[in-house]
Amino acid sequence: MLLQIVGILLAASLAMWVVLRLIAATPALLTDVKACRGHWAEARLRHCEGGLAVTGIPVEPINTFSNLAYLAAAWMLFRDFGTLPATVLAASLTLLFVGSSLYHGTKTMWAARLDHAGIYAVFGSLAIYCVAPAHPAAPYVMLVGAAVFAIGFALVDPGDLNARMGLLLVLVSIRGFLLGRTLLSAVSLGFFVVAFGVWYLDQRTTLLSRFGHAIWHVCTAAAIVVMFGAVAG
């Protein structure tokens, strides 16, 4: 399994690098770039105030390729659980990998929207899974729900991402505790707490150097896999 994951991640890294090179060579895709967008420490340490002329593309290399953690999480869910709900969540994580990689790589608004779409698809589909009764159609409802969350909240009506994600996270975690999977639920929430702490520090300090937001990516990817283990029926 380890060799499979390594192979997938290497291939995905190469593919993402090629895509970023193509974007860099297409000025029409770079009309709304703000290299300091998000105010992440890696961008600040790379002197993002000078724009793409200084940072180049990817603007934040570590933040860009640390999104491979989401792709690894997707493969683990698909391989270890092998169910349709796990496959839907894996597909949502793959969208998050693509969106977040392009966002940190280009710092365009369109990529930021795609990043948010991936986040909403992941937590929206997981939240629907937690409240849906056992039914053969549930995975398809998850898929439709992921699309509705992604399009509605990221593209049509962007709003407070933190508030919405906090609400969805609470909804998801309740199921794990009610199923008696206290340890898995607590571990998942622990990963999320660490991730949000790192998120806060990375936007306001350089204590974690260029690796702060990368830690966020890894911790949230791990938290999602553990959380699915806690709520899986």
Q: CA neighbours within 13 Å on the CB side: how many for 30?
A: 18
Domain boundaries, the chain: 2-231
| Mean pLDDT of the region 151-175 | 76
Q: How far is CA 50 from the centre of its chain?
A: 27
Q: Are residues 159 and 153 in contact, defined by beta-carbon separation less than 8 angstroms?
A: yes
Q: CA neighbours within 13 Å on the CB side: how many for 131?
A: 13
| Mean pLDDT of the region 76-83 | 93
Q: Positive or negative CA dihedral for 8, 13, 121, 150?
A: negative
Radius of gyration of the chain (CA): 17
Q: Which residue has the tokens 């709003």?
A: 159
Q: What is the pLDDT of residue 164?
A: 73
User: What is the Cα–Cα distance from 216 to 194, expressed in whole angstroms?
Assistant: 8
Average pLDDT, the chain: 92
What is the number of other CB atoms lying within 10 angstroms of the CB of residue 89? 31
Give pTM, 2 decimals: 0.93
215, pLDDT greater than 70: yes
